[in-house]
Amino acid sequence: MTLLLELSGITKAYGGAPALSDLSLAVGAGEYLSILGPSGSGKSTMLRVVAGFETPDDGDVRLEGRSILSMPAHERGIGFVFQGFALFPHMTVFDNVAYGLRHRSRGPVADEAEIRRRVGEALELLGLTGLGGRAVSQISGGQKQRVALARTLVTDPKIVLLDEPLGALDANLRERMMIELKRIQAQLGGTFLHVTGNEQEALAMGHRTAVLDHGRIAEISPPQTLYNRPGSVRVARFLNCYNIFEGIVGDGAFRFAEAALPLPGDTASGAAAYCIRADKVTVAEETDPAAPGEAALPGRFIASEYSGARVTYLFDVAGSRPVEVEYHLSHRRPGSFDAGRRYALRWPAADALVFREGRR
């Protein structure tokens, strides 16, 4: 993959508080890279540095091998899609999309026939054909998101930056727009850099997913690798799908409270975190013996949460936060558990991840 964008040692602070700390990142041409991070991790600041809206205190940004730090934002050839859409409310859909063609500082398009052609192509690509004459106030939230994206794509940017572009949409619309964004990126073959605080969105969207933690890239991997084998307990926490126990490795087991769990492999003794994904855990009767190679914990059933395609069950386990057990309804039948009753929570020991204290 040809390298398109490179950030090297980017540092940025506001009032002495660091937003980005020696951040480095490489993005390939034609790649859809998703960036996952909690609020305050530096996601939006990183995009604004790339776009030219912010100047870093240190480091460099190179596009196609050339530093662009001294180049103003409007000359970088970079598109930016804002979370709040940032559409002009007094303009029609057509004029919003055409704005960048008509008013850009370099090579504005004066030929109205050319503008109509290019805007028409962008509206068709985004499924907005026939809506060009409508006012922004007359279209839905999802359509506004598409107009914002069309306005960016019509100028043929070298890279598209998306700052939590689905954050203002409801859950159903967000899922549909995720599919649409991937379709559009694949059809155009363009380069998209998409930041989000939603772990499901980050894993679903990117060819690779990066995790941003306190202004640094904590890990960058294909989504399947990140989901199945996160490289640290901090990354596992960001993914929000792992049960995490704090304890000590010793005498060939992981120990916390009064529990002793078998280890998935050789792990040095000392303080550690033990992680098991919620969908790897099953529930059995407390008296049923564990199978060879299984880890087991007693837990008291608290409650369940139905989420359409899955059900999440919560169990109270001594010495731990409530443990989540996730049943995907296409894979196994939902369980029926009695509130307050004790059960055995089980999983293959080989599926667990154990991180020593130094890898947090």
Q: Is residue 27 part of a domain?
A: yes
Q: Are residues 192 and 318 in the same domain?
A: no
Residues 211 and 281 placed together within one structural domain of the fold: no
Predicted confidence (pLDDT) at residue 44 exceeds the cutoff of 60? yes
pLDDT tens readout for residues 226-255 = 999 999 999 999 999 999 999 999 988 999
Same-domain check for residues 193 and 51: yes
Q: Is residue 314 a part of any domain in this protein?
A: yes
Instruction: For residues 277 and 203, state if they share a domain.
Output: no
Which amino acid does the sequence have at 231?
G
The two three-digit tokens of residue 31, written as one number: 């790649």
- Report d(CA 218, CA 36) in Å as an integer: 10
CA-nearest of 82, 83, 111, 84 to 98 is 111
Whether the CA torsion 226, 228, 232, 237 is positive or negative: it is positive
Portion of the chain with pLDDT greater than 70, in percent = 98
Domains held by the chain: number: 2
Average pLDDT estimate for 113-133: 93
Least Cα distance to 210 among 189, 235, 191 occurs for 235
User: Please, what sign has the CA dihedral across residues 3, 41, 46, 357?
Assistant: negative
Portion of the chain with pLDDT greater than 90, in percent: 72
7 in Cβ contact with 24 (< 8 Å):
yes
Structure tokens at 248: 């000590």
Burial of 104 (0-12, 13-18, 19+ CB in 10 A): middle
Query: 82 falls in which pLDDT band (50, 70, 90)?
Result: confident
Give the confidence band of 192 by pLDDT, cuts at 50, 70, 90. very high
Instruction: With a cut of 90, say whether residue 319 has pLDDT above it.
Output: no
**pLDDT given at position 352:** 97
Phi, psi dihedrals of residue 214, rounded to the nearest 5° = 50, 45
Under 8 Å between Cβ of 21 and 11? yes
Give yes or no: residues 35 and 103 share one domain. yes
Query: Looking at the domain assignment, is residue 140 inside a domain?
Result: yes
Predicted confidence (pLDDT) per residue in 258-308, tens digit = 899 999 988 888 999 999 999 999 999 998 988 889 999 999 999 999 877
79 vs 157: CA distance, rounded Å: 5
Same-domain status, 269 and 348: yes
Last residue in a domain, options 228, 256, 278: 228
Domain extent for 168: 3-228
- Is 234 contained in some domain? no
Can you give the pLDDT at residue 328?
A: 84
Q: What is the pLDDT of residue 182?
A: 92
Which among 228, 253, 286 is the end of a domain?
228
pLDDT at residue number 172: 76
Most confident range, picked from 172-181, 219-228, 281-290: 219-228
pLDDT tens sequence across 333-346: 767 899 999 999 99
> Residue 306, Cβ neighbours under 10 Å: how many?
10
Question: Is the pLDDT score of 358 beyond 60?
Answer: no
Whole-angstrom distance, CA of residue 256 vs CA of residue 237? 18
Q: Are residues 313 and 206 in the same domain?
A: no
- Shared-domain flag, residues 132 and 67: yes
| pLDDT of amino acid 198 | 92
- 311 and 278 assigned to the same domain: yes
**Mean pLDDT, range 60-74, rounded to an integer:** 96
User: Does the residue 67 lie in any domain?
Assistant: yes
Query: How far, rounded to the nearest angstrom, does the alpha carbon of residue 216 sit from its chain's CA centroid?
Result: 15
Query: In this structure, are 309 and 207 located in the same domain?
Result: no
- Cα–Cα separations (whole angstroms), residue 54 to 14, 41, 173, 193, 256: 11, 16, 31, 17, 46
Q: What is the pLDDT confidence band of residue 43, given thresholds at 50, 70 and 90?
A: very high
Instruction: Output the average pLDDT for the chain.
Output: 91
pLDDT of residue 294: 94
Residue-level pLDDT at 290: 85
Task: Residue 54: give its domain's CATH number.
Answer: 3.40.50.300
Q: Poorest-confidence range of 170-184, 283-297, 305-319? A: 170-184
Whether residues 77 and 224 share a domain: the answer is yes
3-state helix/strand/coil string of 332-348: CCCCCCCCCCEEEEEEE
Residue 69 sits in the same domain as residue 167: yes
Residue 182 lies in a domain: yes
Average pLDDT in the 201-218 region? 95
- Residues 241, 326: Cα–Cα separation, whole Å: 9
3-class secondary structure, 234: helix
- Neighbouring residues of 321: CB distance < 8 A, sequence distance ≥ 6: none
Mean pLDDT within 89-100:
93
Q: Would residue 247 count as lying in a domain?
A: yes
> How confident is the model at residue 246, as a pLDDT?
95
Find the CATH number of the domain harbouring 345.
2.40.50.100
pLDDT of residue 53: 95
Mean pLDDT of 29-42: 94
Whether residue 319 lies inside any domain: the answer is: yes
- Report pLDDT for 325: 96
Tokens of 51: 């776009």
Handedness of CA 60, 65, 67, 71 (dihedral sign): negative
